Amino acid sequence: MNRTIAVEEEIDRQINHIRDVMKLSGQPVNALPGRQILQIRNARYHMAGYLPNKTGKPTSQGYIVFQGEPTPNSQSTGGVIRFVPDEELEVPKYDPGSKTIQLWIDWIYLPMVLEQLKHRKHYLWIGFFDNGHTYGDLHSDP
């Protein structure tokens, strides 16, 4: 018997919350196929300075690389959160080839993410909804 584990039930509750916050009443509650949930086992912290191209301006970025296990209904084994200025935010993505969830988060949330990673349980997830809505976040449980 394939029993849904608690983290998947929590994501289902989060989907209901997202529907309410994004004022999607009347929209289907369930994420479309492809929802991915990564149970995080370790995290590596990176700070990078780089030149995006020969004509570009030098810039920098902080990011965290995660490894873990997928929940029973997922395939994700990795994740990346990139901390960027608001104007550089991108839509959350899932790369099925590398089985990686990718999130771009406003850099002002770095202290919150670091605090979340001190908790005993944390997981990364991404969901794809009707009408093009995409949502991804880091959950933690003290």
Residues 69-102 have pLDDT tens digits of 999 889 999 999 999 999 999 999 999 999 999 9
Q: Do the beta carbons of residue 91 and residue 67 sit within 8 Å?
A: no
Strands 100-106 and 59-70: unpaired
Give the residue from 116, 87, 91, 115 showing the smallest Cα distance to 104.
91
pLDDT attached to residue 22: 65
What would the mean pLDDT of 43-64 be, rounded to a whole number?
91
Residues 105-139 have pLDDT tens digits of 999 999 999 999 999 989 999 988 777 788 899 99
More confident: 17 or 140: 140
User: What distance in Å separates the CA atoms of residue 34 and residue 73, rounded to the nearest whole number?
Assistant: 9
Mapping DSSP to helix (H, G, I), strand (E, B) and coil, where does residue 37 land?
A: strand
Q: What percent of the chain has pLDDT over 70?
A: 83
pLDDT attached to residue 5: 54
Q: How many of the other CB atoms lie within 10 Å of CB of 103? A: 24
Lowest mean pLDDT among 9-13, 44-48, 81-85, 115-119: 9-13
Q: How many of the other CB atoms lie within 10 Å of CB of 125? A: 29
pLDDT attached to residue 102: 97
Q: Where is 61: in which H helix or E strand?
A: strand 59-70
Q: Do the beta carbons of residue 14 and residue 6 sit within 8 Å?
A: no
